[in-house]
Amino acid sequence: MLTILTTYPDVLIDGFINTLFSSVIALFFSLIIGTLMAILQLAKNKWISGLANAYVEFFKNIPLLIIVMFFYVVVPLYWFSINGFTAGTIGLTIYTSAFIAETVRAGIMGVPKGQTEAGLSTGLTQNETMRYIVLPQAFKIVIPPLGNQFINLVKNSSVLAMVTGLDLMYQGDLIASETFNTFDTYILIGLIYLIITLPLTYLMSYIERRLNVTS
Amino acid sequence: MKKSNKPSLFLLLLLPVFFLAACGSQSAATVDITERIEENPTITWGVKVDTNLFGLYDIKSGEIRGFDIAIAKAITEEITGDEANAEFVEVTSKTRIPLLKNGNIDAIIATMTITEERKEQVNFSDIYFDAGQALLVPNDSSIQSLEDLSADTTVLAVKGSTSAQNIRELSPDTNVLELENYSEAFTALQSGQGDAVTTDNAILLGIIADNPGYRLAGGNFTQEPYGIAINKGQDDFLIKVNEALNKLKSNGVYDEIYAKWIPEME
Amino acid sequence: MTIIEAFSWMNIRFLLDGLLVTVEVALLSIVFSFIIGAILGLLRYMKIPVFSKIIGAIVDLIRNLPLLLIIFFTYFALPQIGIRFDIFWSAVAALTIFESAMLSEIIRAGLNSVPSGQMEAGRSTGLSYLQTLWFILIPQAFKAMVPPIVSQLISLIKDTSLATIISLPELTHNARIIYGQNTTYVIPMFIALAFFYFIICYALSKVAKRFETKLA
C-alpha cells in the first residue's frame, strides 16, 4: 500500500483536492438552492409551492447517477459543453439541494408559530421575519441533519468517477487498473475518504450532544 | 404480528445461504481449469458487450455477438464438444485482468492487445487478430493525424487499454480522459467532451459503420496483435486453447468467422 | 419519430429486464440489510463491554465510506483474499454491507431517543432487560425510526444504479447500452430512467407516509 502512496502521490493529492473542492462547491450552492426551495415550498401561492414541491420530490426520488450522467451526456449533446468535474458537481448540487430543502423546511416548521407572529407584531415585514427571526432559529434545529447531508455529499461525490470527474475515486480506479493491485488501492482510497468523513461524523455527534444538553 | 413472522423467518433461513455462496467459491482461482472442464464443461469467457464487430450486445435477441464471441464459441466447441458450453461475462478493458486473476472468468477474449507488460500478469494465446491503433474524429475535425494532437486537444480513451498508454507516450502534450468503455467514450465524443477517440482501427471501423459523420484521422500508428488471455498457472488450458485456435485456422472455420464479421480495411 | 423508435417493444423489454434485476437486487439487499442492521443496532445499544465498541467502530468505518468504493471493493478486491461473488451477489453484498451499517445507526439512534427512565421503569415492574427492550423500548422507538428507515430504503433503491459500474445488467446499465448503440435515443432513455426510478421511490415514500400517519 505504501508503494502506491509513494508511486502516485500527485495523482492522489489531485484526486483528494478535486473531491474536497467538488463537495464544498456543491454544499455551498445546495445550501442556497435548498433553503430557497424550502421557503418556496411554504409559500402561500399554490403554484409556487407546487413547483418547489415538484422540484424537491423529483430530485429526491431519482438516483444521483442519473442526474450526473444527464449533465455529462445529454446537456453537451444538445446544448453546451461541460466537463466531467462540472457536470458531476452540478448534479451533486441539485441532488443535495432537494434533501437540504426537505431538512430546512422541517426546521422552519419546527420554529413555533408564535415567533413569526411576534416578529410581525414588532413591525417586521413577512420577509424580514423569515430572514431575521425564523431562519436563524430553524438553522439551529437543522444543523445536525445538515451535517449528515454534508457527509453524504462527500461520499456521493465519488460518482464523479463515473463521468471522468478526476476525483479521488476516479484516480484510485486508474491506479487500480494500472497496478492490478485492487485490494491495496481501494483500501488506501477508503482510508483517504475516511480522513475527510470520520472527523466530520465525530464532530457532528459532538455538536448533536451539545445541542441536546442545552435544550 | 403473527402474519409478518413468516416471511422474515424464511429470509433468515436464506441468510446462511448468502454467506455460503461467499465461502463456497473460495478456492476457484487455484483450480486447474482443464480438470474442472472434465467435470463441468462450461468455459466462462470475459467479453466486451459494447464493441461493434467484436462483442456487442444485441438488444433484439438478448445475446452478445461479434468476432470475439464467434471465436470463443468455436474454441469452446473444439475443447468441450459443444459451443453451448461457452458462458459470457461482460468485462471492460479496466476490469478484465482483475476478473481473470480473481478467477471470475476462465479466459479473456475482448479485443486485448498482447503486450510485454500484460505478459507479467497473464499468459497469452497465439495472435488471433491483427489490429493497429488509430484516431476517430468527426468528419469536420481539423485533426488529420497524430501530429495534430496538442495541449489544446483532448483524446478520449478507455480505462486500462493499451491505447490510453500509447497516446500518452506518442503525444505527451495532449489531454487524455479515460472512460469505462467504448460506447461511453464515443458518446462523450459526440457530446464534445473530447476531440477524438483513440483505440484499435477495427473497433473504430465498427463505430463508423453505425455512425456516419465520423472518420479515421490518419492510419495506424501502432501494432496491436490481439490474444486470448489466460491466468498464470493454467498452462494446460493455454495449450488446449492454442491447439483449438490452430485447428480453426487450418480447417477454415477461422476464415469464415473473419469474413462474416470483419469489413475490408484499406 | 425517434421517441417512438426508442420505445420500441424490443427496447422496452430490455429496459424491463433491467428493471427486474434492479428490483431483485434492491429487495434482497433491503431484507438482508434490515436484518443485519437491526441486529447490529441492538448490539450497539445494549452496550456490551468491548463487543459493542468494536461493532460500533466497524459500523462507523463502513458508513463513512462511499458506497461506490464498497461496490468496487466487493467485486474487484475481495476475490484477492479468496472471497468471490458473481456480479449479482457482489452488488447485493456491497449494498447490504453499506446499508446495514447505515440502518444500524438509525436504529441505535432511535433506541437512544427513548428516555432512559423507560428502561428503568420496565425493569422495576419485573421485566427482564430483553423483555423491556422488546415490549417497552422498541415499540416506542419504532415510530421515530420509521421515517429515516424509509428514506434509507429509498436511497438503497436509487443506489442500485451504481452497480452499473460492475456491469450488473440493471436498469441504468441497460439504458446505457441502448443509447450507446444509438445516440439519438439518449433523451428518451433518460426520460425512461427518471420515470422508472421516480415511480418506484415516490410510491414507496407515499406508502410510508400513509403508514406513519396510521402509526401516529
The full set of domain ranges for chain B reads 38-130+226-261, 133-222
Are A173 and B159 inside 8 Å of each other by CB? yes
**pLDDT band at residue A157 under the 50/70/90 scheme:** very high
Contact residues for B227 (Cβ-Cβ < 8 A; gap 6+): B112, B113, B114, B124, B125, B126, B127, B128
State residue A47's pLDDT score.
92
Are C66 and A158 inside 8 Å of each other by CB? yes
**A residues 67..106 contacting C (CB < 8 A):** 69-70, 73-74, 77-78
User: With an 8 Å Cβ cutoff, is A162 touching chain C?
Assistant: yes
Which residue range(s) make up the domain with A172? 2-214
Please, how many CA atoms are within 13 Å of residue C41, restricted to the half-sphere of its CB?
26
Does position A107 have pLDDT exceeding 50, yes or no?
yes
**pLDDT band at residue A213 under the 50/70/90 scheme:** low
Instruction: Please give the domain boundaries of chain C with CATH numbers for all domains.
Output: 2-215 (1.10.3720.10)
Task: Tell me the helix, strand and coil percentages in chain C, rounded to 5.
Answer: 85, 0, 15
Total domains, chain A: 1
The DSSP bridge pattern shows strands B63-65 and B196-200 to be: unpaired
Neighbour subunits, C (≥3 Cβ pairs < 8 A): A, B
Characterize C16-38 residue by residue with b for buried, 16 or more Cβ atoms within 10 angstroms of its Cβ, and e for exposed.
ebbbebbbebbebbbbbbbbbbb
Instruction: State the amino acid at position B151 in one-letter form.
Output: A
Are B191 and A76 inside 8 Å of each other by CB? yes
| B113 vs C128, higher pLDDT | B113
User: What number is the ipTM of this complex?
Assistant: 0.87
What is the rounded (10 degree) CA torsion for A158, A163, A164, A169? Answer: 20
- The vertex-B184 CA angle with B181 and B190, nearest 5°, equals 140
Instruction: List, in sequence order, every residue forming a beta bridge with B224; answer none if it has no partner.
Output: B131
Question: What average pLDDT score do residues A189-193 get?
Answer: 92
Residue C46: CB atoms within 10 Å: 14
State residue A146's pLDDT score.
86
State residue B265's pLDDT score.
59
B186-207 pLDDT, tens per residue? 988 988 888 999 998 888 888 8
State residue B24's pLDDT score.
39
Residue B9: CB atoms within 10 Å: 9
Question: What average pLDDT score do residues C108-118 get?
Answer: 81
Are B18 and C176 inside 8 Å of each other by CB? no
Strands (E), B91-151: 107-108, 122-124, 129-131, 133-138
pLDDT above 70 coverage of chain A, percent: 98
Are B190 and A162 inside 8 Å of each other by CB? no
Query: A61-65, C5-9, C149-153 — which one is most confidently predicted on average?
Result: A61-65
Question: What average pLDDT score do residues A113-125 get?
Answer: 85
Q: Quick one: fold of B38-130+226-261?
A: D-Maltodextrin-Binding Protein; domain 2 (3.40.190)
**Stated length of chain A:** 215
Contact residues for A39 (Cβ-Cβ < 8 A; gap 6+): A108, A130
**Average model confidence (pLDDT) for chain A?**
87
| C76 vs B13, higher pLDDT | C76
Question: What average pLDDT score do residues A183-197 get?
Answer: 90
- Rounded to 5 degrees, φ, ψ at B63 are -115, 160
Are C186 and B187 inside 8 Å of each other by CB? yes
3-class secondary-structure state, position A29: helix
CATH class of B133-222: alpha beta
Question: What average pLDDT score do residues A3-21 get?
Answer: 86
The mean-pLDDT minimum among A64-68, A118-122, C168-172 falls in A118-122
Residues of chain B where predicted confidence (pLDDT) is lower than 50: 1-28, 266
Query: Does B38-130+226-261 match B133-222 in CATH topology?
Result: yes
The mean-pLDDT minimum among A186-195, C93-102, C118-127 falls in C118-127
State residue B46's pLDDT score.
92
Contact residues for A35 (Cβ-Cβ < 8 A; gap 6+): A100, A101, A104, A135
CA distance A174 to chain B (A): 7
Are B15 and C35 inside 8 Å of each other by CB? yes
CATH number of the domain to which A148 belongs: 1.10.3720.10
**Contacting residues of B for C165, CB less than 8 Å apart:** 180
DSSP C146-209: HHHHHHHHHHHHHHGGGGGGGT--SHHHHHHHHHHH-GGGHHHHHHHHHHHHHHHHHHHHHHHH
Distance CA A38, CA A14 (A): 35
Q: What's the pTM value of the predicted model, to 2 decimals?
A: 0.80
Question: What average pLDDT score do residues C21-27 get?
Answer: 93
**Average model confidence (pLDDT) for chain C?**
87
Does position A117 have pLDDT exceeding 90, yes or no?
no
Question: What average pLDDT score do residues A174-195 get?
Answer: 86
Option in A74, A76, A176 nearest B192 (CB): A76
- Smallest Cα–Cα separation from A39: which of A152, A126, A113, A140? A126
Option in B18, B50, B90 nearest C180 (CB): B50
Indicate which of B159, B162, B195, B232 best probes the interface with A, i.e. most A CBs within 10 Å of its own CB: B159
**pLDDT band at residue C101 under the 50/70/90 scheme:** very high
